[in-house]
Structure 1
């Protein structure tokens, strides 16, 4: 699988400051987080740990990913930003994954999971994006969604409508999200929306991680 070929990438981006009295070696914890985000099931990740003579439960590994609170790195200054949404299901409810990406680097800049799409929620997303990155001079690339255009206009940010070209970056990223989540039918079962959002943000950090 192509995702497994990326397991050789460094793990320095994984911050384990949440660890207090964890008895698992940090190297093993980082490997497990990386394996889980790369596509290995929790059960198979447990098996890998057992081969390293470390016994931990599926819940423990799940909790490591959640507690690490992994996010895309901050402080970027992109020239263009592709913004879009896609549907993610949490249990039997539909949510919308908002994402912003730099089409020149294919890096995800920010993402959030909302229960719906409105101009007000889009303004929240843009406000958080501005707090994390220098985007004031960037040109936002959007499709014809009116709530995106209205929110950008209210924020005084420049945008242009583009259905292909540089906006393909965000479409590629969404395909990667859906490919990764296809093992659970693009649906988070028995999970709270906050749990799903944290996993998606951690996955975004993994996608951005250097080789």
Structure 2
């Protein structure tokens, strides 16, 4: 079990309360979720688990990630947050990714995916972010995105337009998300908004676990 212990190290952030049957060992589910979020495709994870006598399909592994319902939970430790919006492609379809990152800890506080970008979708994202973290005294760091600045101004938030410095934290996170989504097309075979959103939140939890 030494190899299993090594693979399972540091994954207390995975809640397996969704497991109702003992068909698959819990350690295998934990390892499968972690390996996928760490960079392996679903099929690569399936083959990896075969080495340990666990025969599960890539669809089963996808379902583990989905059912785990991982969502980023953090605390705002800084007086600034880097926020951005970016178009990404999933199987050729365009979606708009919104994200907020603590520039001091590099933790992802919130990610949301929308089929379009408008003032309304921007306001939905900011409202949800504020409700989660109560950001009355936080300054938002933004670039010249179409809607973030105008909506922040209209709704009375403090913000500063900046291209470098602390705002680079969100750029690095977006770069990694874009790289991963372009590499793992089989994670979004149906291009369902809920499926992609669920994966993004799970990735955020994994990302944050690496920052501590």
TM-score (norm 2): 0.88
Q: Which runs of 5+ in 2 are unaligned?
A: 1-6
1:119–1:36 CA distance, 2 compared to 1 (3 A): same
Q: Could you tell me which residue of structure 2 aligns to residue 132 of structure 1? A: 132
CA apart distance, 1:48: 2.0
CA apart distance, 1:66: 0.8
Q: Could you tell me which residue of structure 2 aligns to residue 66 of structure 1? A: 66
Q: Could you tell me which residue of structure 2 aligns to residue 19 of structure 1? A: 19
| Contact 2:66/2:195 (8 A) holds in 1 | yes
TM-score (norm 1): 0.88
User: How do residues 113-128 of structure 1 correspond to structure 2 at under 5 angstroms?
Assistant: 113-128=113-128
What are the superposed Cα offsets for residues 170-208 of structure 1, whole Å, 9 maximum, x if unpaired? 111111112223324799443312111111111111111
Q: Matched residue pairs, number? A: 205
| Contact 2:41/2:184 (8 A) holds in 1 | no
What are the superposed Cα offsets for residues 57-93 of structure 1, whole Å, 9 maximum, x if unpaired? 1111000001111111144343111111122223332
CA apart distance, 1:106: 0.7
Q: Distance in 2 between matches of 1:129 and 1:147?
A: 16
- The root-mean-square deviation of aligned C-alpha atoms, in Å, is 2.1
CA apart distance, 1:146: 4.3
Q: Could you tell me which residue of structure 1 aligns to residue 4 of structure 2? A: none
Q: Could you tell me which residue of structure 2 aligns to residue 42 of structure 1? A: 42
User: How do residues 73-112 of structure 1 correspond to structure 2 at under 5 angstroms?
Assistant: 73-112=73-112
Q: Distance in 2 between matches of 1:165 and 1:186?
A: 35
Q: Distance in 1 between matches of 2:165 and 2:186?
A: 26
